Amino acid sequence: MTRTDISIIIVSYNVKNFLQHCLHALKKSIAGLQSEIFVVDNHSIDGTPEMLRREFPELHLICNDKNLGFGRANNQALKRARGKYVLFLNPDTLIEENTLSLLYDFMEKNPDVGISGPKILNADGTLQLACRRSFPSPKVALPKLLGLSALFPKSKIFGKYNLTYRDPGQSYPVDAVSGSFMFCRGDLIRKLGGFDEDFFMYGEDLDLCRRVQLSGKKVYYVAETAIIHYKGESSKSAPYDSLMAFYKAMDIFFRKHFSPFYSLFTTLFFRLGIAFHLLFNFTGKLFFMLRLPLLDLLLIASALLFALFLRFPAAFFNELPHFAPVLGGYATVYMLFLILGGSYRRAKQYDFVRAAANLLPGFVLNGFVTFFILRAAQSRFVFLIAFLFLMLLLPLWRIIAFRVRSRHFRQGAENARRTLVVGAGPEGQRIAATLGLHPELGYLFAGFADKDLLHPKTIGSIHDLSQLVRTQDIDNVIFSSDVFSLGEIIRMMAELAHFPLSIKIVPEKENRLFGKAVIENIDDIPVIEMEYTILKPEWRILKRAMDLLFAATAILVLALPALLSALFGGAEAVTFSEDVPGGRIWKRKKDGKEPFLYWYPMLFSLLAGRMSVVGDLKNIPEGSRRYYKPGMTSIMRSEKPALPSPEEHERFIHYYMSNFSFVLDAEIIFKTLFLKKN
């Protein structure tokens, strides 16, 4: 059997470009050594496996169907590794040509060393402090957490965690080296079982170094060679909270390796840290999410109070308790219509026209209460003056905010909205090129999403669209219709419905699109802002509630007539395989015709949530049925008697999803039941 000097194990997660550079540098460093390379991919969505198969077919690739974490993924490859030494290497590193040969010789000459690590530099050439550390006992970690190590880096007491008082140009034993590069004695690491899989990310390198020392071997910092580490690239795209993972890792480490006294102290300390972090993080995210509704609520309350002050300048504080319930009702109604009207969706939050329009139904409802309910009748002056102020204030701050944001966009790309182009065909590439040439438009091209990952700027597959939007912090999604049909785009839009995104489409044929759409131009490219009302969570909930009400009422009211119809017609229940997927109807045994109330069995599918009163008459993929279901009737049945072509079907569905309302549903039901088609 051929001798293997070094087994190199790399765990990758959405760092395709960094991994590519790392492997090219690694090829130069392994010259003269018998080596094998394992890459364990933790379900990357950026095309990492495809790139590896294409450019590095000689390495051993292990692909996981989910993110197993750093330790478990390394252990997968460790079980297959045959090397005398094992190198655990991060994908976001670049190593010198002599690094591996130098460390190989060092370990050969020092059999008492179990793990060694080189000097590690940041991308700017500064020393990465984590490359040589002490174990974080309370007396070591506390100065670090309090910032004393930064104030007194040369102090042996305060600078012990990162050994900042020691010369980084000298080699010496340390408690731990960085997990980004750990050159390990293979037999020892296999005997220890590799990494502790209780750690998901962070802390497993400290734990392994600790267990190596307990086995009687040393951990050594070797300063004669250096690598570059682009720290934290994998965690940037992680779907979990990296800081939370760090706190959990420290909690596990302390409970495992320190005395009960230390364990009690540190567990309490770090769990308090976790609690404060979660509280701070949750509060910050909640405030950021609610900042615009809170601003509107503040302005509404201010307008109402100011109007009350104008009405009762001398007795304002005496009248305030009396009017408080009425003013609270006014504010609630205005806020309700602003929310339902979509004023806080990301694409529309600075739309001053929409804000003004959404105040009008609130004005009508509050006006009805004010003029026709005696208790509120005294506040007519307050109601009218406050409304005038609101029609000024709510659109005004949006105009100012929009102008400020536009100015920021023109000043630099760092303020631009990250934009994902779905479709890497000719049209998509033209969009991307245009976005790059015009940063003043406020779009920052983040990459393509496509069915395949052939284009070099494709950062993910459409099959992982939700995760791609989340991990890449996408603000805008532009669909290119030269690659995808409108039906495919609708399904992808449904998948993204719960994200606060601005969704746009570049039409292949402009006459295929109509309904609620705003056309803008990116240079010479017409882009249509898409908004499907039916995908909004609040409308989905209301539509489902109306379906349940209709089904329950119809089942009870029509139970006897339906039974008589079935008995009289000799009914036979059959699966409706083409016209209405998911539903059942009655047909007569004798002639196969439909008896009176033939659709009654569909009501039970409606009640179970498999259908909607108004939906689509075609078979809808299971993944899209959360947003749009097969229907007892549809806009096609009410408007077009003949079977529509695929293009006509897409146009009808686009129109319905864009213009959905209960009035439209009622119109479709009425036409289906009572209007005879020509």
For the segment 439-468, the average pLDDT, to the nearest whole number, is 83
Please list, in sequence order, all residues whose beta carbon lies within 8 angstroms of the beta carbon of residue 340, skipping any fewer than 6 positions away: 358, 538
Q: What is the DSSP letter of 377?
A: G
Q: Is residue 68 part of a domain?
A: yes
The beta strands (E) that lie in 532-611 are given as 571-575, 584-588
Domain boundary among 500, 531, 562: 531
**CA 259/CA 657 separation, integer angstroms:** 63
Confidence at residue 578, expressed as pLDDT on a 0 to 100 scale:
46
Q: What is the pLDDT of residues 517-532, one digit of tens each?
A: 455 666 566 666 666 6
Domain boundary among 479, 507, 531: 531
Q: What is the DSSP letter of 378?
A: G
Q: Are residues 303 and 316 in the same domain?
A: yes
**CA 510/CA 11 separation, integer angstroms:** 46
Q: Are residues 632 and 573 in the same domain?
A: yes
Region of 558 on the Ramachandran plot (φ > 0 left; ψ -120 to 50 alpha; else beta): alpha
Helices (H), 373-418: 380-411
Residue 616: beta bridge partners?
630
pLDDT at 158 over 70: yes
Q: Are residues 642 and 515 in the same domain?
A: no
* Residue for token pair 């309904």: 515
Q: Which two tokens stand for residue 463?
A: 């099959």
Q: Is residue 69 part of a domain?
A: yes
For the segment 449-474, the average pLDDT, to the nearest whole number, is 84
pLDDT at 509 over 50: no
* Residue for token pair 């974080």: 136
**CA 547/CA 541 separation, integer angstroms:** 10
Which long-range contacts (C-beta less than 8 Å, at least 24 apart) are formed by 450-457?
450/422, 450/423, 450/424, 450/483, 451/483, 453/46, 453/47, 453/50, 453/51, 454/424, 455/424, 455/429, 457/424, 457/432
Q: Is 418 helix (H, G, I), strand (E, B) or coil?
A: strand
Q: Are residues 72 and 202 in the same domain?
A: yes
For the segment 454-463, the average pLDDT, to the nearest whole number, is 85
Q: Is residue 251 part of a domain?
A: no
pLDDT at 272 over 60: yes
Q: Is 431 helix (H, G, I), strand (E, B) or coil?
A: helix
Most confidently predicted of 224-228, 295-299, 473-477, 641-645? 295-299
**pLDDT classification of 241: cutoffs 50, 70, 90:** very low
pLDDT at 192 over 60: yes
**CA 212/CA 193 separation, integer angstroms:** 11
Q: Are 669 and 547 in contact (CB under 8 A)?
A: no
**CA 398/CA 108 separation, integer angstroms:** 69
Q: Are residues 480 and 624 in the same domain?
A: no
Q: Are residues 346 and 356 in the same domain?
A: yes
Side-chain half-sphere exposure of 274, counting CA atoms within 13 A: 17
Share of the chain above pLDDT 70, in %: 72
Q: Are residues 507 and 585 in the same domain?
A: no
pTM of the model: 0.59
**pLDDT classification of 222: cutoffs 50, 70, 90:** very high
DSSP result, 236-302? HT-SS-HHHHHHHHHHHHHHHHS-HHHHHHHHHHHHHHHHHHHHHHHHHHHHHHHHHHHHHHHHHHH
Q: Domain with 32 in it: what CATH number? A: 3.90.550.10
* Cα angle, residue 341 at apex, residues 338 and 342 outer, rounded to 5°: 90
Query: Residue 486: which of 656, 600, 336 has the closest Cα?
Result: 656
Q: Which range, of 201-215, 461-475, 539-553, 612-626, averages the lowest pLDDT?
A: 612-626
For the segment 450-468, the average pLDDT, to the nearest whole number, is 84
Q: Are 469 and 477 in contact (CB under 8 A)?
A: yes
Compute the Cα dihedral for 12, 15, 20, 26 and give only its sign: negative
Confidence at residue 239, expressed as pLDDT on a 0 to 100 scale:
45
Q: Is residue 156 part of a domain?
A: no
pLDDT at 553 over 70: yes
Query: Residue 39: which of 101, 104, 93, 88 has the closest Cα?
Result: 88
For the chain, how far is it from start to end, CA to CA, in angstroms? 83
Most confidently predicted of 44-58, 128-142, 586-600, 619-633? 44-58
Give the per-residue SS3 of 567-580: HHHCEEEEECCCCC
Q: What is the pLDDT of residues 128-157, one digit of tens each?
A: 888 888 877 667 666 666 666 677 777 777
The total domain count for the chain is: 4
Confidence at residue 197, expressed as pLDDT on a 0 to 100 scale:
76
Q: Is residue 591 part of a domain?
A: yes
Q: Are residues 501 and 574 in the same domain?
A: no
Amino acid at 572: E
**pLDDT classification of 555: cutoffs 50, 70, 90:** confident
Query: Residue 250: which of 158, 378, 138, 357 has the closest Cα?
Result: 138
Query: Residue 133: which of 123, 122, 143, 141 has the closest Cα?
Result: 141
**pLDDT classification of 230: cutoffs 50, 70, 90:** confident
Q: Are residues 296 and 395 in the same domain?
A: yes
Share of the chain above pLDDT 90, in %: 19
Q: Domain with 487 in it: what CATH number? A: 3.40.50.720
Q: Are residues 423 and 482 in the same domain?
A: yes
**CA 438/CA 433 separation, integer angstroms:** 9
The average confidence (pLDDT) of the chain is 78
Q: Is residue 574 part of a domain?
A: yes
Beta strand pairing status for 85-89 and 181-185?
A: antiparallel
Residue 324 is part of which domain span? 288-410
On the 0-12 / 13-18 / 19+ scale of CB atoms within 10 A, 370 is buried
Q: Is 355 helix (H, G, I), strand (E, B) or coil?
A: helix
Confidence at residue 368, expressed as pLDDT on a 0 to 100 scale:
84
Confidence at residue 144, expressed as pLDDT on a 0 to 100 scale:
64
Q: Which range, of 243-257, 379-393, 432-446, 451-465, averages the lowest pLDDT?
A: 243-257
Q: Is residue 62 part of a domain?
A: yes
Residue 87: beta bridge partners?
8, 183
* Cα angle, residue 377 at apex, residues 373 and 383 outer, rounded to 5°: 115
**CA 226/CA 100 separation, integer angstroms:** 10
Q: Are residues 501 and 628 in the same domain?
A: no
Q: Which two tokens stand for residue 531?
A: 């908004």
Q: What is the pLDDT of residues 295-318, one digit of tens each?
A: 999 999 999 999 989 988 888 888
Query: Residue 35: which of 76, 85, 79 has the closest Cα?
Result: 85
Confidence at residue 513, expressed as pLDDT on a 0 to 100 scale:
40
Query: Residue 188: which of 117, 99, 86 has the closest Cα?
Result: 86
Please list, in sequence order, all residues whose beta carbon lies within 8 angstroms of the beta carbon of residue 499, skipping any fewer than 6 positions away: 466, 469, 470, 474
Beta strand pairing status for 35-41 and 6-12?
A: parallel
Q: Which two tokens stand for residue 595?
A: 């008896």
Compute the Cα dihedral for 102, 107, 108, 110 and give only its sign: positive
Q: Which range, of 140-154, 484-498, 657-671, averages the lowest pLDDT?
A: 140-154
Confidence at residue 573, expressed as pLDDT on a 0 to 100 scale:
46
Confidence at residue 469, expressed as pLDDT on a 0 to 100 scale:
86
Most confidently predicted of 249-263, 403-417, 595-609? 595-609
Confidence at residue 218, expressed as pLDDT on a 0 to 100 scale:
93
Confidence at residue 638, expressed as pLDDT on a 0 to 100 scale:
65
Return phi, psi of residue 312, to 5°.
Answer: -130, 70
pLDDT at 112 over 90: yes
Domain boundary among 379, 410, 441: 410
For the segment 620-633, the average pLDDT, to the nearest whole number, is 66
Q: Are residues 646 and 562 in the same domain?
A: yes
Confidence at residue 198, expressed as pLDDT on a 0 to 100 scale:
74
CA of 614: how far to CAs of 494, 547, 645, 670, 672, in Å?
17, 9, 20, 11, 10
Q: Is residue 262 part of a domain?
A: no
* Residue for token pair 């130098």: 102
Q: What is the pLDDT of residues 417-435, one digit of tens each?
A: 789 999 998 888 988 888 8
